[in-house]
Amino acid sequence: MQEIKKVVLAYSGGVDTSVCIPYLKNEYGISEVVTFVADLGQGEDLEFIRQKALNSGASQSLIGNLVNNFVENYAFPAIRSNALYSEKYPLSTALARPLIAENLVNIARKMNADAVAHGCTGKGNDQVRFDLAINALGPDLKIITPAREWNMSREEAILYGENFGIPAPVSKKSPYSIDVNLLGRSIEAGILENPMEEPPEEIFTMTSSIENTPDSPDDVEIIFKNGFPIAIGNEFLNPIDLIKKVNHLAGAHGFGRIDMIEDRVVGIKSREIYESPGLLLLIKAHKELESITLNPDVIDFKGVVEKKWAQLVYQGFWFSPLKKGLDAFISSTQTSVNGKVKIRLHKGNAIVIGRSSEKNSLYREDLATYSKDDLFNHEKAEGFIYMWGMSNKIWAELNSKNK
């Protein structure tokens, strides 16, 4: 086996990834551990995390500002795809993993590293997403996964780290496992492992409880161009600021909470809680705009594509030939998705109350109306229905004769 001298580690600053540093050096004999911290808009003190990696034994600790890339090349394609895994989850966490993996591979190439590493356990989905993305982009790189092999409890991992100068967490340990980025939060573990337990209000930070939402509704207009959200009302915003604004608007009214049972890639069911107010709202608005700008057969087939797209992303196949093909189809449908959607936010609800497209609307009031301005030729409906139901009529006649 080739000796591994340098490894690039995906680093979050938590117990597991911190312990990974001395573990890689002492159990694998790796001389250089380079950590990579991804800035995905999570709002943490990343310089503190970088310094913690160095204090834990990393030879170098890098921070990558990936926020703009994350929104433009991951979140926005998900919006155009109306991507909801199991028709509920907008993939806020899953979308981040291939981007992190891509940067791990790029850094490994640049620094002539022999391997990449992450701190995922063998029970979750993230290990699959990281490994598949790394294998697709750097099939020659070795993937090292200490948390899948060390068989340590959290308490044992903390003690292991203390032996190498890594301090135990100072504050009282939260029972929850939480992942945060600009698009949302995922929360699991603790009492949430009982699917009948109501999620406590303390776990939510992006969305208000219904009791604390405004008594009056807010009407929000979202403007799209080629399927991309570009403005809120009359305010045109860059992608990052737009996501931040819809997060605030929707979250303030308690919209964007998801409580679901997931079928993990590894074959077990898990209870997951998500907050993703902005992404959910934008997908809802985008889907509504498509209802007025896309042909019915396109909408029907795109629904099949959307479901598969979301499955591929959830299951770790961001870098795959099938997803690349689905991307091309979805992109071809979006040139006419231009216009605006009006949504009323109130007490946890986001209710569509209007939609329009100045240049691409397939809705014609002069055909849909029942007023005197109706241009629809009612007499031609009889011939259409006769032809439309011909095969069914023949079947019925034959069935009647054979009784």
Q: Which of 126, 185, 276, 336 is catalytic?
A: 126
CB half-sphere exposure, 291, CA atoms < 13 A: 12
Contact 270, 262 (CB under 8 A): yes
126 is catalytic: yes
From the CB of residue 217, how many other CB atoms can be counted at a distance below 10 Å? 16
237: left (phi over 0), alpha (psi -120 to 50) or beta: beta
Q: Which of 16, 18, 81, 92 is catalytic?
A: 16
Q: Across the strands, what pairs with 142? A: 115
CA dihedral 99, 101, 104, 108 (to 10 degrees): -130
- DSSP per position, 315-357: TT-SSSHHHHHHHHHHHHHGGG--EEEEEEEETTEEEEEEEE-
Q: Which of 31, 174, 177, 209 is catalytic?
A: 177
From the CB of residue 59, how many other CB atoms can be counted at a distance below 10 Å? 16
Query: Tokens at residue 255, please?
Result: 């919209």
Q: Across the strands, what pairs with 258? A: 274
219 is catalytic: no
Please, what is the end-to-end C-alpha distance for the chain in angstroms? 77
Please give the single-letter amino acid code of residue 382.
E
Q: Across the strands, what pairs with 223? A: 231, 340
Q: Which of 50, 80, 97, 129 is catalytic?
A: 97
Residues 6+ apart with CB under 8 A from 73: 99
- DSSP per position, 217-244: -EEEEEEEETTEEEEETTEE--HHHHHH
Can you say how many angstroms the Cα of residue 370 is from the centroid of all Cα atoms in its chain?
43
Instruction: Give the strand order in the sheet containing 32-39.
Output: 60-65, 32-39, 6-10, 115-117, 142-144
What sign has the CA pseudo-torsion 318, 94, 155, 13?
A: positive
- Classify burial at 336, counting beta carbons within 10 Å of its beta carbon; exposed 0-12, middle 13-18, buried 19 or more: buried
What sign has the CA pseudo-torsion 210, 213, 216, 222?
A: negative
Catalytic residues: 16, 97, 126, 177
